[in-house]
């Protein structure tokens, strides 16, 4: 596989939607994604239901999703309580989030970045001991809606902490869609220099300011081969003002395949999933490929 796409529409895609889909519709979304070729799916979040009501049925979703050989399900967690819930559902991966900016960390997790990192490392250690694949996501790695610019050195330091703890994968998230390709390339180079041949590198881009796909291309140029995206381009962060849309899986697959990179995903099937989401959510999805169609 030349590019591994982690499909995040069932989690990051749906969490920012005004309409809360019923559990059966979420399970159907996952089923359709698998039919389209998705093999790593971030299916649920184990955040507190009061904070993220769209994810309140995480256990029911995980109980109903198809168990298919080769398909890995991830759950996003913030703390030990979230890990225990995740373990009880049989997820294959856990994605532990730490905010690189202090203000966002205090507003989002009610603690400092250092406190969040200390808790995350404990969670990662236990998850690894249970045989789960672990990802440390550094949110607001490119900028914060409250603190503004985020120090590259700080992001590299936090990534080094995760690598030292043995996390399998480091994910850098442009939570509010302010990143630019030069930042992507510099972060990639600096983090690889700091962690060596340790954890794999993954990026999570939002297309809020129309730079998401340029950033994805920059990551590919740096040899990054794991990218997050959301079918239809739905999603965003409910804890940040104007943090709209993930990059669309449909559009990303089109770009990658036209570049000669294999994704394992079927464009026609993905456009069908976007049509399903349009019906379920009651509005047109942001992705452009479903409007224009594939080529040739």
pLDDT tens per residue across span 161-186: 999 999 999 999 999 999 999 999 99
The average pLDDT across 54-73 equals 97
Please write the tens of the pLDDT for every residue from 124-165: 999 999 999 999 999 999 999 999 999 999 999 999 999 999
Please write the tens of the pLDDT for every residue from 210-257: 999 999 999 999 999 999 999 999 998 777 777 788 999 999 999 999
Q: Domains in the chain: how many in total?
A: 1
Among the listed residues 99, 111, 144, 237, the single catalytic one is 237
Output the CA–CA distances (angstroms, integers) from residue 269 to 69, 189, 264, 276, in the order listed. Answer: 20, 35, 12, 11
Of the listed ranges 47-56, 68-77, 149-158, 237-246, the least confidently predicted one is: 237-246
C-alpha–C-alpha distance, residues 289 and 296, integer Å: 13
- Measured in whole angstroms, the distance separating CA 109 from the mean position of its chain's CA atoms is 18
C-alpha–C-alpha distance, residues 149 and 153, integer Å: 12
Q: Does residue 237 have an active-site annotation?
A: yes
The answer to whether 201 touches 170, Cβ cutoff 8 Å, is yes
The answer to whether 134 touches 98, Cβ cutoff 8 Å, is no
Task: Assign residue 225 the CATH number of its domain.
Answer: 3.20.20.70
Residue 193 structural domain: 4-292
Residue 24 has phi, psi (to 5 degrees) of -60, -35
Residue pointed to by tokens 């449909």: 250
C-alpha–C-alpha distance, residues 195 and 137, integer Å: 15
Instruction: Tell me 224's DSSP state.
Output: -
- Cα 159–Cα 162–Cα 167 angle in degrees, nearest 5: 125
Grouping H, G, I as helix, E, B as strand and the rest as coil, residue 176 is coil
C-alpha–C-alpha distance, residues 51 and 57, integer Å: 13
The answer to whether 207 touches 246, Cβ cutoff 8 Å, is yes
- Count CA within 13 A, CB hemisphere, residue 207: 23
Residue pointed to by tokens 């519709």: 25
Task: Show Cβ contacts of residue 192 under 8 Å, excluding neighbours closer than 6 positions.
Answer: 201
Of the listed ranges 52-66, 228-242, 274-288, the least confidently predicted one is: 228-242
Torsion from C-alpha of 77, 82, 86, 88, nearest 10 degrees: 180
C-alpha–C-alpha distance, residues 160 and 211, integer Å: 27
C-alpha–C-alpha distance, residues 38 and 228, integer Å: 12
> Which comes out higher in pLDDT, residue 86 or 245?
86
């Amino acid at each position: 596989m030349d590019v591994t796409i982690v499909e995040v529409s069932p989690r990051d895609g749906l969490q920012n939607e005004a309409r809360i889909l019923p559990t059966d519709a979420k399970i159907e979304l996952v089923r359709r994604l698998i039919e389209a070729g998705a093999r790593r799916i971030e299916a649920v979040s184990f955040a507190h239901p009061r904070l993220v009501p769209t994810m309140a049925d995480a256990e029911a979703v995980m109980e109903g999703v198809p168990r298919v050989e080769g398909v890995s399900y991830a759950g996003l967690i913030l703390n030990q309580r979230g890990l225990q819930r995740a373990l009880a559902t049989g997820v294959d991966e856990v994605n532990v989030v730490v905010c690189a900016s202090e203000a966002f960390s205090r507003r989002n997790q009610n603690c400092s970045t250092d406190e969040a990192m200390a808790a995350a490392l404990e969670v990662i250690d236990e998850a690894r001991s249970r045989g789960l694949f672990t990802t440390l996501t550094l949110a607001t790695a490119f900028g914060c809606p409250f603190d503004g610019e985020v120090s590259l050195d700080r992001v590299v330091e936090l990534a080094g902490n995760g690598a030292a703890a043995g996390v399998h994968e480091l994910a850098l998230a442009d939570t509010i869609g302010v990143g630019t390709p030069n930042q992507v390339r510099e972060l990639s180079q600096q983090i690889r220099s700091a962690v060596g041949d340790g954890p794999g590198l993954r990026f999570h881009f939002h297309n809020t300011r129309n730079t998401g796909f340029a950033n994805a291309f920059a990551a590919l140029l740096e040899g990054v081969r794991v990218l997050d995206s959301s079918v239809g381009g739905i999603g965003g962060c409910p804890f940040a003002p104007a943090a709209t849309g993930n990059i669309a899986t449909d559009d990303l697959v089109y770009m990658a395949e036209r570049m000669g990179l294999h994704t394992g995903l079927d464009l026609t099937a993905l456009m069908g999933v976007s049509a399903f989401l349009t019906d379920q959510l009651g509005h047109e999805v942001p992705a452009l490929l479903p409007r224009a169609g594939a080529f040739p």
